[in-house]
Chain A
Amino acid sequence: MKNIPVSTTINGDPIEFLCGPDETLLEVLRNRLGLTGAKEGCGTGDCGACSVTLNGRLVCSCLVLGAEAEGGEISTVEGLAAGDALHPLQQAFIDHAALQCGVCTPGILVAAKSLLDKNPNPTETEIRYWLAGNLCRCTGYDKIIKAVQIAAEEMRSA
Chain B
Amino acid sequence: MALDSQAKKVFKQVGTRPRRPDGVDKVTGRAMYGADATAPGMLFARVLRSPHAHAVIKSIDASAALAQKGVKAVVTSADFGVPEDLFIRDVQDNCMARGKVLYDGHAVAAVAAVSDAVAKQALKLIKVDYQVLPHVTDVDEAMKPGAPVVQQGRTEENVGPGFSENVTTYCEFGHGDLVAGFAKADRILERSFKTAATHQGYIEPHACLASVTSDGKADLWCCTQGQFHVRNVCAEIMGMESSQLRVTASEIGGGFGGKTTVFIEPVALALSRKTGRPVKMVMSREEVFRATGPTVSSSMDVKIGMTRDGRITAAEAHLRYQGGAFPTGTVTMGGQSAFAAYDLEAVRTYGWNVMTNRPKEAAYRAPGAPMAIYAVESVVDEFCQHFGLDPLDVRLMNAAKKGTRSSYGPTFDAIGLIATLEAAKAHPHYTAPLGPNQGRGLSCGFWFNFGGNTCVTLNVNSDGTIGVTEGNPDIGGSRASISLMAAEELGIPYDKVRTIVADTNSIGYNDITDGSRVTFSVGLATIQSARNAIKVMCARAAKIWGIDEDAVIWEDGAAKPSGPNAGDFEPMTLAEIAAVSAETGGPIAGHHEVNADGAGVSFGVHLADVEVDPETGATKVLRYTVFQDAGRAVHPDYVEGQMQGGAAQGIGWALNEEYIYGKDGRLQNAGFLDYRVPVASDLPNIDTVILEIPNPGHPYGVRGVGETPIVPPLAALSNAVSRAVGVRMHELPMSPPKLLKAMNGKG
Contacts and interface: CB of A to CB of B under 8 A. Distances in A.
For the residues of A in contact with B, the DSSP-based class is loop
A132 B681 contact: yes
A4 to B, nearest CB: 14
Given A100-B641, A102-B22, A90 B28 contact: yes
Nearest to A49: B203
Nearest to A77: B29
A104 B203 contact: yes
A138 B24 CA distance: 18
Contact of B285 (A43, A94, A127): A43
A140 B644 contact: yes
A15 interface: no
Interface in A42-57: 42-44, 46-47, 49
A140 to B, nearest CB: 3
Contacts of A66: none
Interface of A: 20, 22-23, 27, 30-31, 35-44, 46-47, 49, 76-78, 80-81, 86, 90, 93-97, 99-106, 109, 125, 127-129, 131-145
Interface of B: 17, 19-20, 22-24, 26-33, 35-36, 116-117, 200-205, 251-256, 282, 284-285, 475-477, 637-638, 640-641, 644-649, 671-673, 677-683, 685-686
A3 to B, nearest CB: 11
A118 to B, nearest CB: 17
A22 B117 CA distance: 9
Contact of B28 (A37, A44, A138): A37
Contacts of B685: 142, 145
Contact of B254 (A22, A27, A94, A138): A138
A59 to B, nearest CB: 17
A125 B30 CA distance: 30
B672 A47 contact: yes
A140 B679 CA distance: 8
B203 A39 contact: yes
A132 B329 CA distance: 37
Contacts of A136: 203, 680
B717 to A, nearest CB: 14
Q: Which of A27, A86, A139 has the most CB of B within 10 A?
A: A139
A11 B402 CA distance: 59
B669 to A, nearest CB: 12
Contacts of A145: 680, 685
A36 B649 contact: no
Contact of B27 (A76, A105, A137, A139): A105
A54 B577 CA distance: 55
Nearest to A126: B681
A38 B645 contact: no
A103 B203 CA distance: 7
Nearest to B256: A137
Contacts of A23: 117
B23 A44 contact: no
B252 to A, nearest CB: 6
A109 B644 CA distance: 20
Contacts of A137: 200-203, 254, 256, 645, 649, 677
Q: Which of A31, A81, A93, A137 has the most CB of B within 10 A?
A: A137
A45 to B, nearest CB: 8
Nearest to A104: B203
A96 B635 CA distance: 12
A67 to B, nearest CB: 15
B31 A141 contact: no
A125 B35 CA distance: 33
Given A100-B476, A132-B682, A135-B677, 10 more contacts: A90-B27, A90-B28, A94-B24, A101-B476, A109-B27, A128-B681, A135-B203, A138-B254, A140-B648, A144-B680
Given A80-B28, A94-B23, A103 B672 contact: no
A80 B447 CA distance: 40
30 contacts: A22-B117, A36-B29, A38-B29, A40-B205, A41-B203, A41-B285, A42-B285, A43-B284, A44-B285, A44-B673, A46-B672, A90-B24, A94-B24, A96-B637, A97-B17, A97-B477, A100-B477, A100-B638, A102-B27, A103-B202, A103-B204, A105-B26, A128-B681, A137-B649, A138-B254, A138-B645, A140-B678, A140-B686, A142-B686, A143-B644
